[in-house]
Homo-oligomer: A and B are copies of this chain.
Amino acid sequence: MSLLVTGSIAIDSVKTPYGVSENCLGGSAIYFSMAASFFDPVRLVGAIGPDCPFDLAKVFAGRNVDLTGLEIRKNSKTFRWAGTYHEDINKRTTDRLELNVLAEKPPKVPRAYRDSKFVFLANTAPALQLELLEQVDEPSFTAADTMDCWIREQRDDLEVLLKKIDCLIINEDEAKMLADENNLIKAADAILNMGPSIAVVKKGEYGSILCSIAERFILPAFPSADVKDPTGAGDSFAGAFMGYLAQTGKSDFESLKQAVAYGTVAASFTISEFSLAGLTSISRTDIDGRLKTLRKVTQF
């Protein structure tokens, strides 16, 4: 079923203990689309400036990613992010941030995308996420990401958004902040009370939790001995999660569990190489093979 993603397209510069990657392609919509495209066609909505050195049509060649929703804004510049991951690779510092096109009006959802059934609103100001969501006619499953600055500074907008989406995908620390609750299980329950019927809390190397009012599912991360660059792990997770749901056209709890497992696997490939290389070098067969391994090392 039709899958729409709205999110950032970035020029990233990343340092980790294992190397440096300067001016590489990144951004939530890019990682999401790359991961989701293993499962189902993707419709991308995002904006760049003429300075963007990447030909996205080439980047996604053969991958069934529709770029009708890509805006190239003549008088703007592409979003740039530079960051350093520490020796403890779970910690990172933002070295430079140039919002550029992200500080402007969000891109429009093209008319041809309005019938999308599965929608992912990657992290941006909740008012913009709402504006984007309103341009889709009758989505059947909508998920969004958010982050600390919106929880602190645009709480009212975020609360409106939470009432309009089916699923919030959020990091552990941000879930605790949003719920004002240190216990993660209670925090997830509190988030469900704010609107969405599903909460997915990502715990990085500790895996993730999927919660509905009635059910829970907890999955560890794939055990990765070689982590080179964690950038994009969360967006790849969301991409495979939504991609699997769109492929099956379902969003019942059993399907959501399977989607979390696919998200976990996609993230593990992303972090194994710099930038997109961990995802561009694999096939759906590799993903299914690792899913089998993940099942083997977690089932008893």
Residues of chain B contacted by A206 (CB below 8 angstroms): 203, 206-207, 220
| Chain B residue at minimum C-beta to C-beta distance from A218 | B220
Number of copies: 2
Please tell me if the beta carbons of A185 and B224 are within 8 angstroms of each other in the complex.
yes
Please tell me if the beta carbons of B207 and A184 are within 8 angstroms of each other in the complex.
no
A258 at the interface (CB under 8 A from B): yes
A261→B216 CA distance, assembly (Å): 17
Residues of chain B contacted by A299 (CB below 8 angstroms): 298-299
Asked whether A297 and B218 contact (CB < 8 A) given A183-B225, A209-B223, the answer is yes
Please tell me if the beta carbons of B217 and A297 are within 8 angstroms of each other in the complex.
yes
Please tell me if the beta carbons of A182 and B88 are within 8 angstroms of each other in the complex.
yes
Residues of chain B contacted by A224 (CB below 8 angstroms): 183, 185
Residues of chain B contacted by A182 (CB below 8 angstroms): 87-89
A295 at the interface (CB under 8 A from B): yes
Residues of chain B contacted by A295 (CB below 8 angstroms): 300
Please tell me if the beta carbons of A225 and B300 are within 8 angstroms of each other in the complex.
no
- Interface size range on A against B: 20 to 34
Residues of chain B contacted by A186 (CB below 8 angstroms): 225
A88→B183 CA distance, assembly (Å): 8
Residues of chain B contacted by A215 (CB below 8 angstroms): 297
Of residues 233 through 286 on chain A, the ones whose CB sits less than 8 Å from some CB of chain B are: 257-258, 260-261
- B87, B216, B261, B297: the one within 8 Å of A300 (CB): B261
A216→B220 CA distance, assembly (Å): 12
A219 at the interface (CB under 8 A from B): yes
A189 at the interface (CB under 8 A from B): yes
Smallest distance from the beta carbon of A279 to chain B beta carbons, Å?
Answer: 21
Please tell me if the beta carbons of A219 and B258 are within 8 angstroms of each other in the complex.
no
A216→B218 CA distance, assembly (Å): 18
Residues of chain B contacted by A136 (CB below 8 angstroms): none
A227 at the interface (CB under 8 A from B): yes
The interface centre, meaning the residue of A217, A224, A258, A300 with most chain B CB atoms within 10 A of its CB, is A300
26 contacts between A and B (CB under 8 A): A89-B182, A89-B183, A183-B226, A184-B205, A185-B223, A185-B225, A186-B225, A203-B206, A206-B206, A206-B220, A215-B297, A216-B223, A216-B297, A217-B298, A217-B300, A218-B220, A218-B297, A219-B220, A219-B300, A220-B220, A257-B300, A258-B300, A260-B300, A261-B300, A298-B298, A298-B299
Q: List 7 A-B pairs, minimum CB-CB distance, nearest first.
A: A206-B206, A218-B220, A185-B225, A257-B300, A185-B223, A216-B297, A186-B225
